Structure 1
Amino acid sequence: MRILAFDIGGTLIKSAIVDEDKGLFNLEEHSYPEPGRDGILNILENRIDYYNSEIDGIGISTAGLVDEEKGVIILSSNGIPNYTGTKLKEMYELKYNKPVWVLNDVNAAALGEAHFGAGKVYNDFICLTYGTGVGGAIVINKQVYGGKNGFAGEIGHTVTHLNGKKCVCGLYGCYNDYASTKALVENCSQVDFSIKNGKDVFDAFSKGDIKIKEQIDIWIDEIIYGLVTVVHIFNPPAIILGGGIMRQEYIIDEINNRLKNSILSGYRDVVVLPAMLGNSAGLMGASYNTLRRKCEKK
């Protein structure tokens, strides 16, 4: 059985074929020819038309709040204009007569890691991704726990700073605005105007820049503030951290060391580890979800 999988981000869409036996192949990246909903739909339909005769279903991982049963974008994120309200499942099931299932991008990545990556040895874990914001997912018995409306795990919108910065969500002091990669880059750019992204930050760090190291250490403490709450509420055996920035060994080592000194002794066996699947996690999770749903309906 073959699934055409998509991973929709704020500036880029990834697509791939995922075969039950052969794994993932034909990985492609697509930049938006135009921003927003229409640009997304044009890319999706182009690839579905191309592969339509070869596939048995479609799996979509997307930024934003998603009604995963109805496949509707409840609230757009990452600055995607006119995307809220898009009924991806309904549109493409009617047009192509194939099963379509849609997941929030972090939920999809967590599902991918649970079955094919760093979470394979754990039945339960918390997955957090650090990028322009902080996304979260709760995995219980190898499945993502969605809560009442499917929105559980929005750890990025827990408040870590009372009366802090105003978040795009309207709340003040959200974890997003202090622990994201975006926050780290913004803080480092005030020290060194040449810094534009996470790679620049760690290039400077690797050259021994003391001021940049200070900013990284402050940022790691911000990460810890959120993780302390996560550990004490969920008592997970593992926390899997995704996002390109988490490939830095220094960060994972420091988080493990500092977290153990910040939580109660009974919780200190929690393991923090980096995600394994990288950019393919969302694709693998979205395809697995569609395969599982398709099999359940047989």
Structure 2
Amino acid sequence: MTFTLGVDLGGTKIAAGLVAPDGVVTRRMSAPTPAAEGPEAILQTIVDLATSLTASAPGAAIAGCGIGAAGVIDPVSRTVQFATNSLPGWTGTRLGAEIERRLGVPVATVNDVHAHAIGEAVHGAGRGERTVLVIAAGTGIGGALVIDGVLQAGRHGAAGHYGHVPAAEAAGLACTCGGVGHLEVIASGPAILQAYLRRGGSVPRDTQEIFAKADAGDSVAAEVIDVAATALGRSIGGLINSLDPDLVIVGGGLASAGPRWWNTVESQARAEAMGLLAGCRIVPTSLGADSAIVGAASLITSSTLLTPQSL
């Protein structure tokens, strides 16, 4: 059988898998991202994972390798256009060309959240739908729009930075991008933790503990979660008004935090949407942790995912 290598490259972990033509991941491997060691160490980790996966399926043909990577990735030059300090030196890395040279197979690249969106739109919860909006809410807030199976990546490959739209709830708060008052600094996982600390809450281990505190009756924890979910929901409602998608798929770490968060996001999105659009379906992801691997692999197996019109 012919497989495609799919790689999900994040700031803390690199996951890779062998993906069958129907989008099923048959084998998976992962390794910590050696971010502090620089781009060369990251590239070598990708190669090592790919080599190990290929060796685990003797006789299988490898059609190519798709990579969803952290940072702003130009899908044409396959170069990292911009990355945060979580990946020092990553900006400027010729990701596609370097991996292609080392593996000897065709390589396609996109942003990791874009890969996640493609996976869900083509093989996941959005399968069969024409216009799919995907929102990923976790460490950051991102997403993508996929129309007729085509990723709408934008002029610089940076479309989908939904966390960097203004949000009234974030007024006056500095954003990591250098702006002020953006959605990400009130609605992301780290933002919930920071808001809890600003309100005088006891120091938690992580954002997950804040949800546990809210369920146990901590009113401050409940309030900061409500504010975060409200801000995200209102922004999703605004995107529904702007884009009129067939459905919205919401994923990321926060999407699995439980009904307190999910119900508020959904109700606020519907309240913000215009009457005609208030019934837009809002659903969770269906591929789970495999979504970016599947989406990245789909870049190789489907020629319609990236076109000049989508870039």
Fold equivalence (TM over 0.5): yes
What does the per-residue CA deviation read over 1:246-285, in whole Å, with 9 as the maximum and x for residues that have no partner?
0223322222222222232122121222112121110010
Between the aligned partners of 1:254 and 1:295, the Cα distance in structure 2 is 33
Structure 1 equivalent of residue 46 of structure 2: 44
Q: Do the aligned partners of residues 22 and 122 (structure 1) sit closer, same or farther apart at CA in structure 2, a change above 3 Å counting?
A: closer
Following superposition, the deviation at residue 295 of structure 1 comes to 11
Question: Aligned runs of 1:234-245 on 2, under 5 Å?
Answer: 234-245=243-254
**2:138 matches 1:136:** no
**2:26 matches 1:25:** yes
Structure 2 equivalent of residue 3 of structure 1: 4
Q: Once structures 1 and 2 are overlaid, which stretch shifts more, 159-168 or 207-216?
A: 159-168
Aligned amino acid, residue 50 of structure 1: S
Following superposition, the deviation at residue 65 of structure 1 comes to 0.5
Q: Which SS does the other structure have where 1:30 is aligned?
A: strand
Aligned amino acid, residue 185 of structure 1: L
Q: Once structures 1 and 2 are overlaid, which stretch shifts more, 182-191 or 266-275?
A: 182-191
**2:172 matches 1:164:** yes
Q: How many aligned positions are there?
A: 296
What does the per-residue CA deviation read over 1:179-231, in whole Å, with 9 as the maximum and x for residues that have no partner?
11111122234443342323212222332333211221111121123223212
Between the aligned partners of 2:287 and 2:305, the Cα distance in structure 1 is 24
Q: Once structures 1 and 2 are overlaid, which stretch shifts more, 182-191 or 54-63?
A: 182-191
Q: Which SS does the other structure have where 2:239 is aligned?
A: helix
Q: Do the aligned partners of residues 132 and 22 (structure 1) sit closer, same or farther apart at CA in structure 2, a change above 3 Å counting?
A: closer
Aligned amino acid, residue 189 of structure 2: T
Question: Aligned runs of 1:180-195 on 2, under 5 Å?
Answer: 180-190=188-198, 191-195=200-204
Q: Do the aligned partners of residues 284 and 178 (structure 1) sit closer, same or farther apart at CA in structure 2, a change above 3 Å counting?
A: same
Contact preservation (8 Å) 1:165, 1:177: yes
Q: Which SS does the other structure have where 1:77 is aligned?
A: coil
Between the aligned partners of 2:30 and 2:216, the Cα distance in structure 1 is 32
**2:276 matches 1:276:** no
Contact preservation (8 Å) 2:185, 2:191: yes
Following superposition, the deviation at residue 163 of structure 1 comes to 6.0
CA RMSD of aligned residues (A): 2.3
Structure-2-length-normalised TM-score? 0.87
Structure 2 equivalent of residue 145 of structure 1: 152
- Aligned partner of 2:181 among 128, 153, 173: 173
Following superposition, the deviation at residue 294 of structure 1 comes to 10
Between the aligned partners of 2:230 and 2:160, the Cα distance in structure 1 is 21
Question: Aligned runs of 1:244-255 on 2, under 5 Å?
Answer: 244-247=253-256, 248-255=258-265
Question: Aligned runs of 1:198-209 on 2, under 5 Å?
Answer: 198-209=207-218
Following superposition, the deviation at residue 21 of structure 1 comes to 5.5
Contact preservation (8 Å) 1:239, 1:272: yes
Between the aligned partners of 1:107 and 1:33, the Cα distance in structure 2 is 22
Structure 1 equivalent of residue 309 of structure 2: none
Contact preservation (8 Å) 2:149, 2:305: no
Contact preservation (8 Å) 1:198, 1:245: no
Between the aligned partners of 1:88 and 1:72, the Cα distance in structure 2 is 5
Structure 2 equivalent of residue 103 of structure 1: 110
- Aligned partner of 2:237 among 228, 235, 255: 228
Unaligned regions of 5+ residues in structure 1, if any? none
Between the aligned partners of 2:277 and 2:300, the Cα distance in structure 1 is 35
Q: Which SS does the other structure have where 1:261 is aligned?
A: helix
Following superposition, the deviation at residue 63 of structure 1 comes to 1.0
What does the per-residue CA deviation read over 1:104-136, in whole Å, with 9 as the maximum and x for residues that have no partner?
111111111012211124221211111221112
Unaligned regions of 5+ residues in structure 2, if any? 307-311
Contact preservation (8 Å) 2:11, 2:35: no
Structure-1-length-normalised TM-score? 0.90
Aligned amino acid, residue 268 of structure 1: A
Q: Do the aligned partners of residues 135 and 294 (structure 1) sit closer, same or farther apart at CA in structure 2, a change above 3 Å counting?
A: closer
Aligned amino acid, residue 102 of structure 2: K
Between the aligned partners of 1:71 and 1:22, the Cα distance in structure 2 is 23
Q: Once structures 1 and 2 are overlaid, which stretch shifts more, 95-104 or 30-39?
A: 30-39
Q: Do the aligned partners of residues 160 and 4 (structure 1) sit closer, same or farther apart at CA in structure 2, a change above 3 Å counting?
A: same
Q: Once structures 1 and 2 are overlaid, which stretch shifts more, 122-131 or 250-259?
A: 250-259
Q: Do the aligned partners of residues 198 and 120 (structure 1) sit closer, same or farther apart at CA in structure 2, a change above 3 Å counting?
A: farther
Contact preservation (8 Å) 1:252, 1:274: no
